[in-house]
Amino acid sequence: MDVINPATGERVETYEAETVADVDDALAVASDAFDRWRNCPLREREQLLADAATELRTNDRSYAETITREMGKPISQALEEIEKCAWVCDHYAEHASTYLNPDGHPSPPGAVAKTAYEPLGPQLAVMPWNFPFWQVFRFAAPALTAGNTVLLKHASNVPGCSRAIENVFREAGYPDGTFQTLLITSDLVDEALEDDRVRGVTLTGSGPAGRAVASTAGRQLKRSVLELGGSDPFIVLDDADVEAAAETGASARMLNSGQSCIAAKRFLVHTNVYDEFLERFVDEIKSLTVGDPTDPETDVGPLATDAILEELDAQVTASLEAGARTVTGGEPLESNGAYYPPTVLVDVPDDCPAASEETFGPVAAVFEVDDESEAIRTANETEFGLGASIWTEDRRRGRRLSREIEAGCVFINQLVKSDPRVPFGGIKDSGYGRELSEAGIKEFVNRKTIWVE
């Protein structure tokens, strides 16, 4: 596995891919470790998770630099990602006992009925490169604390991040085998998932990858959680705070150089405020600094790979040929790295890629809508259903319209984000199941009914 620095195009490191035999060995270790780990008192598992948070904060610079070197995230955002990982560890270290406390149920006199929450066994995590620490930790923190063991199959372009995450748990004092990385190619995922020792799988990634994993898990009758793509609408109504919406909208689209499933991708703006919003939004976009991701002043770095840049450029080109118009950006930058400029498209036809596909990069499509009904209808005209953002000064109006949005989460006067305190996940082609909060820790447990008479 070659690590290519996307800012320079240079190979910076090579890792040896592991084999089927290595996977078998890891599964044996994970299975043996589970028998001990499940009996470790929950309070001790919580303390280890708190120690993992300490390790993350103590060595945040080193971990952040690994992220930046492998996938190009601006260093300031990489540091924020490490802190967010520490936060999710803090959250479950504090709240896991409450989340996993047995629930009581009505029962006849002389009987007690409860639901206990018990771990299932080794869990396989198939993770992407765009938030290479956060997307692992938001699963691993609750799964491990519930008493499961975890095997991580990370994206092939971030093997150093994979090894670094393993190091976090090792340095925190986790027993051997509770968390392991598998530096394997995607063709070995099915074989690992079909093994009886793996009791569940979670995947964050593309729709095709999610369907493949779900199919295998379904045949094996194993628990699965999928967090897939998104084409999130960002709705700006006629009574919105336009200045705040434009400022937050630029961040919502360009964070992580636009490489986020929950990024705002389709901006649906009421005709009464369209011109003002577009002017302010474009000004915000143009003010962003594109450049070296190791520079703390950089807002937008390179895309993670040349292939991602080529696909994004093809989507923009096809959209322009279909009749869309660029207000800013629109062509790859001349550079040795995979740089694409922040881009804003308007007059976007309904059936072109910028309207109908997920654009995974710094490209925003802005649409003018006549009223809230058209905004909601357009927002729902997608196979995705991950998140949505609604901007209005009337909070009751926002809450009412949120019920009409087909998505797993709706934020009013805020960008869509994942937060340890609330459930996260999507519907339709954006996947199923939930991560984070109480819902997340209960996805990979046995909800065992216990009746005592």
Q: Which of 85, 89, 161, 261 is catalytic?
A: 261
Per-residue 3-state assignment (H helix, E strand, C coil) for the chain: CEEEECCCCEEEEECCCCCHHHHHHHHHHHHHHHHHHCCCCHHHHHHHHHHHHHHHHHCHHHHHHHHHHHHCCCHHHHHHHHHHHHHHHHHHHHHHHHHCCCEEECCCCCCEEEEEEEECCCEEEECCCCCCCHHHHHHHHHHHHCCCCEEEECCCCCHHHHHHHHHHHHHHCCCCCCEEECCCCHHHHHHHHHCCCCCEEEEECCHHHHHHHHHHHHHCCCEEEEECCCCEEEEECCCCCHHHHHHHHHHHHHHHHHCCCCCEEEEEEECCCHHHHHHHHHHHHHCCCECCCCCCCCCECCCCCHHHHHHHHHHHHHHHHCCCEEEECCCCCCCCCCCCCCEEEECCCCCCHHHHCCCCCCEEEEEEECCHHHHHHHHHCCCEECEEEEECCCHHHHHHHHCCCCCCEEEECCCCCCCCCCCECCEECCEECCECHHHHHCCCEEEEEEEEC
Active-site residue 40, yes or no? no
Active-site residue 227, yes or no? yes
Q: Which of 18, 46, 81, 227 is catalytic?
A: 227
Which residues belong to the active site? 227, 261
